[in-house]
Structures are given as structure tokens and as C-alpha cells.
């Protein structure tokens, strides 16, 4: 679980004055830098930031704070995975079935959202997704695949 520590708000135009010069696209990196600076000023060093896939924000943060790492938040990760799967559906007809892409994305999110004790455990969960999709549940974890509970009535998609 993550807690909100700092929150910034920017508005390009206000009825009284212009708040930010430059493009609206510059707001997110500006806010990210401002928040990390504020945390550093309070004695909290920032090693990892969870955000969307804005490469401008990431590059500006790394430019200013060389050691900072960026991780995708789960919502953006799922959105990008789904987008890539829908794109792949143009080439692979197996992905065109009703509910297939959302189901694959859901399996992937279950695998990364569940608590793991090691990188190896995460890899095992991710590697079990494709066999799971084809009916091989030998590598599935009971916390995200219900096949082991009721194999006779289990339905994949």
C-alpha cells in the first residue's frame, strides 16, 4: 500500500493570471521535480517514483536526481498491456475472441498484484499464465486460479 505524501496542482490559465509558462505538457515534470525536491528538503530521499509512462517526467527526474528509479503504476501497466494485446489481435486471430484480451490482462494483473516473497516467485507466476490459458494449471497458484478448487466446472474465459 502506498500513501500520498505530497500533492501538487497546476493550472495553465487562471482568471486572474497565468500560473505556468510553457506548454501544459511541462506541468507533470515540473510538479514531480517540485515534490521530490520538497521531500528531499524534509529529509526524505526518494529512490523510486510510481507514475504513468510519461518519458519526459522520467528523464527530467533522472536528470535532476540521477539515482531515482521509475516504476509504472498498476493501472497504467494494465492499460498499456491491453493496448498491446488489442494491437496484436490484428495479427493473431486467437486474441480476437470476446473477452480474451481482458482475461489475459486480468491474469497478468493477478500475477503481479499477489504478494510474492521473491523475484523467482513472481517469474513463476508470470510463466504460468500461458500454460493456464491453454488448460495446463500445474503451475497456477490457488490465489488467482480457481481450477484446483472445482476442476469439473472451471471455465477459463
pTM of the model: 0.64
Distance of CA 48 to the CA centre of its chain: 14
Angle at 67 between CA 36 and CA 81, to 5 degrees: 85
Given a cut of 70, whether residue 149 has pLDDT beyond it is yes
Is 55 within 8 Å of 76 (Cβ atoms)?
Answer: no
Cα separations in angstroms, 104 against 82, 93, 138, 156: 8, 14, 18, 10
Q: How many CA atoms lie within 13 A of 131 on its CB side?
A: 12
Sorted by sequence, the CB contacts under 8 Å of residue 111 that are 6+ apart come out as: 122, 125, 126, 128, 129, 144
Given a cut of 90, whether residue 83 has pLDDT beyond it is yes
**In this predicted structure, what is the pLDDT of residue 87?**
94
Task: State the average pLDDT for the chain.
Answer: 82
pLDDT tens for each residue of 42-79: 888 888 887 777 778 888 888 888 888 888 778 888 99
**In this predicted structure, what is the pLDDT of residue 16?**
53
Beta bridge partners of 48: 69
Q: Which of 34-43, 75-84, 148-157 has the lowest mean pLDDT?
A: 148-157
Is 107 within 8 Å of 143 (Cβ atoms)?
Answer: no
**In this predicted structure, what is the pLDDT of residue 70?**
81
Amino acid at each position: 500500500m502506498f500513501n500520498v505524501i505530497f500533492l501538487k496542482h497546476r493550472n495553465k490559465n487562471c482568471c486572474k493570471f497565468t500560473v505556468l509558462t510553457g506548454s501544459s505538457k511541462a506541468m507533470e515534470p515540473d510538479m514531480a521535480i517540485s515534490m521530490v525536491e520538497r521531500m528531499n528538503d524534509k529529509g526524505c530521499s526518494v529512490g523510486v517514483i510510481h507514475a504513468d509512462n510519461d518519458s519526459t517526467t522520467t528523464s527530467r527526474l533522472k536528470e535532476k536526481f540521477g539515482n531515482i528509479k521509475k516504476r509504472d503504476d498498476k493501472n497504467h501497466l494494465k492499460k498499456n498491456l491491453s493496448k498491446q494485446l488489442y494491437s496484436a489481435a490484428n495479427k493473431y486471430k486467437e486474441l480476437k475472441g470476446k473477452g480474451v484480451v481482458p482475461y489475459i490482462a486480468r491474469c497478468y494483473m493477478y500475477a503481479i498484484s499477489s504478494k510474492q516473497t521473491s523475484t523467482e516467485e513472481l517469474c513463476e507466476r508470470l510463466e504460468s499464465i500461458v500454460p493456464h490459458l491453454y488448460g495446463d494449471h500445474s503451475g497456477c497458484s490457488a490465489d488467482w486460479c480457481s481450477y484446483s478448487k472445482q476442476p469439473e466446472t472451471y471455465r477459463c474465459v
